[in-house]
Each structure stands twice: as structure tokens, then as C-alpha cells.
Amino acid sequence: MSIDFGELTFSFTPTRTMFIARCELGDEWQPGELQPFQNLELSPAACVLNYGQGLFEGLKAYRADDGRILLFRPAMNAARLRAGCRRLSMPPVPEELFLSAVRDVVSENSDYIPPNNDGALYIRPLVFGSGAILGVAPAPEFAFLVYASPVGPYFKGGLSPIRLLVTRDFHRAAPKGTGGVKAIGNYAPGMLPSSHAKRKGYAEVVYLDAVEERYIEEVGAANFFAIFGDTLVTPALSGSILSGVTRDSVLQLAAERFGLKVEERDVSIDEALGADELFCSGTAAVISPIGCINYEGQDHQFSGGEVGPRTRALYEALTAIQHGDAPDEFGWVVEV
């Protein structure tokens, strides 16, 4: 293996081992096993290929300076995956199966974890309808798989402000749809808006709500935050946005470490354009400052295009806990 950890981007590098477990419809999940990383064999009539019955998760393993391997709040990913399984008519993966599969994949591939501050091992759990079916109905068989890839930053340049484009041409999710779960089918429709934004020089799109086209939902695959003075505001979990693990952590850090007032509520684009600082959060995105937002053809700058002081403080506090550089009074990190 020869990986230049210092040069990592958010792209796929296979590792040695993956985990796979199976479950028949109406039955319990089998214990599953580690296997060499390999291609899958699937029927062309597999439910996931034809009807998109599938979910994914994303979490990271970090290597602390003292050599410990740390996961960040993996039980939250396990719970979100179970909620998604119920929404997509798949048997929920038990928490213990999820956590032991993640731990085993990380341990078996521990030499692929970049040194502290060079990146992380991104862990990708998947659940999908692997069995063949022609009518639109749950698959007769399901697979739960965990693979991993060493990664660097999601947005180029680490903690440097990104430029975003508010789209009124596309919505990500509708009320009562599947935006609140990590359904695989939520992501391909975002590729076209994202490529339009990139062509115009923006890193991603900001989606507005599908009813009034007025309230901010999310940034591609990250949650949105605005800071007004001592108040941190983020869109409420209405069902059409993802309940981010990072989002929840940022809200707790902001309130408990920094004494900010936190509000989960509707944030209109007009209100957001008057914010002191903006950022977005996610496992891949970490905390990414937003330096500019284009709305209706006009660029609006935030924090003078620099990283805002509160955004930087939240980034430093969060990553210090994740990387094992600071005490974790929340009990978030789990040693492998």
C-alpha cells in the first residue's frame, strides 16, 4: 500500500476489508462477516438497482496523536440508519450489529487511517434490497455492508470559505418525502444542480423549501447555519432535511461551550443574507465557512469573505474533540 496521506482529497481509495451481512424479508439479520474488499454479485432484478431501495451512512475514524483510533458518535448513525430502514421498508439493522461491523472494518483497515490532521478514514455503511423482484415491493433479501476509504477535505482548501449558489430551479426534497433519511435516491438528483453551480464557479447549491421557495433547507450534503450576533440559527428538522450528527454536535457545542443562543426554526434566504457568519456542517464537510452566496444573480459576501471568528471557534472545538486533541465532556468519542 502506498498512499500519500498529505495529498488526500474526498475521493475513493479502496481498503483491504469490508463487512457484509444478509437478511431475508421477515427474518432476523444474520451475524455477517468480514471479507476482502471485492465486487458484489447482484441480480439485474435486484430491488436496489430497479427501485432504489437503499440507504447509506457516513462517519469517520480519526487517529489521535497518542495512537488511539476514535469514532465520533457512531450510535447516532446507527439510529439514523434504523429510522431510514423503516421508511424504506427494509429490516432495521440492530445497533450492536452496526457498531461491531464499523469497529471491525476500522480495526482491520487501521493502517489506512491517516495521521491526525491529514484526514480520516471515511466509513460507508450501506443497506439495500439485494434480492430480485419485479413488482414495486420490498426485496426478498437485504444486504448490510460496510466499507471504508481514507479521505481528505470535502471542499477544496480545508477551512477556507466556500461560495454557494441558491437554486430556484431545483428542490432537494418535499415535505413528507424522504429528505429526512439518507436514501440513496436523494443524491443522484443533486448532481445536475451541483454541476450547474460548479460551472458558474460555486462549490455547491443551497436548496430552498419546496413549498414557498423561501426558507433555506440544506447545502447539497451538509446542514446550514447562520450566526447573528450571539445567536446561532439553523433550519428546524421539518422532515425534508437530514438530521446531521455534526448539526446536533454544533448546536450542543455552541450552547454549552460558547454560551450562544441556539434556535432551530425556519430561516428565510432574505434573513440569512443579513447574517454575520454562515457555515455548513457534515461528516464530510466538517464545518465549512460560507464566504459568499449568490441569490437571484447577485453575490453576497459574509465575514468579508474570511473565516468568521465564531465559525473558526466552533470548527476548532469540534475537530479537537473528534481528533482526541481536547477533553470530550459530551462523551461523543468512542475508542475502537
CB atoms within 10 A of CB 270: 10
| Residue span binding ligand COI (CB under 6 A) among the ranges 22-30, 103-111, 230-238, 277-285 | 277-285
238 binds, among ligand COI, ligand PLP, none (CB under 5 to 8 A by kind): none
Residue pointed to by grid coordinates 457568519: 277
197 binds, among ligand PLP, ligand COI, none (CB under 5 to 8 A by kind): none
Q: How far is the CB of 59 from ligand PLP (least distance, A)?
A: 8
Point out which residues bind ligand PLP (CB under 6 A): 58, 182, 218, 221-223, 242, 244-247, 281-283
DSSP-derived secondary structure for 17-61: EEEEEEEETTSPBP--EEEES------TTBHHHHH--EEE--EEE
Residues of 152-171 as b/e, b for ≥16 C-beta within 10 angstroms?
Answer: bbbbeeebebbbbbbbeeeb
Q: E strands along 229-321, which residues?
A: 231-234, 261-264, 277-282, 286-295, 298-301
Q: Which whole-number Å values give the CA distances from 216 to 99, 242, 275, 310, in the listed order?
A: 33, 13, 13, 21
Q: Torsions phi, psi of 318, nearest 5?
A: -65, -50
Q: Is 183 in the site for ligand COI (CB under 6 A)?
A: no
Q: How far is the CB of 121 from ligand COI (least distance, A)?
A: 13
Residue window 224-253: x/- pattern of binding to ligand COI, with contact defined by CB under 6 A: ------------------------------
CB atoms within 10 A of CB 92: 18
46 binds, among ligand PLP, ligand COI, none (CB under 5 to 8 A by kind): none
Q: Torsions phi, psi of 199, nearest 5?
A: -60, -30
Q: How far is the CB of 140 from ligand PLP (least distance, A)?
A: 28
114 closest CA partner among 155, 161, 60, 166: 60
Q: For this structure, is 261 an active site residue? A: no
Q: Is 282 in the site for ligand COI (CB under 6 A)?
A: yes
Q: 147, 109 in Cβ contact below 8 A?
A: no
223 binds, among ligand COI, ligand PLP, none (CB under 5 to 8 A by kind): ligand PLP
Task: State which residue has the least CB distance to ligand PLP.
Answer: 244
Nearer to ligand COI, 133 or 183 (CB): 183
Q: Is 284 in the site for ligand COI (CB under 6 A)?
A: yes
102 closest CA partner among 69, 129, 67: 69
- One of 176, 182, 200, 261 is an active-site residue; which one? 182
| Residue span binding ligand COI (CB under 6 A) among the ranges 27-35, 85-93, 280-288, 301-309 | 280-288
Q: Which residues bind ligand COI (CB under 6 A)?
A: 58, 221, 282-284
Residues that are catalytic? 182
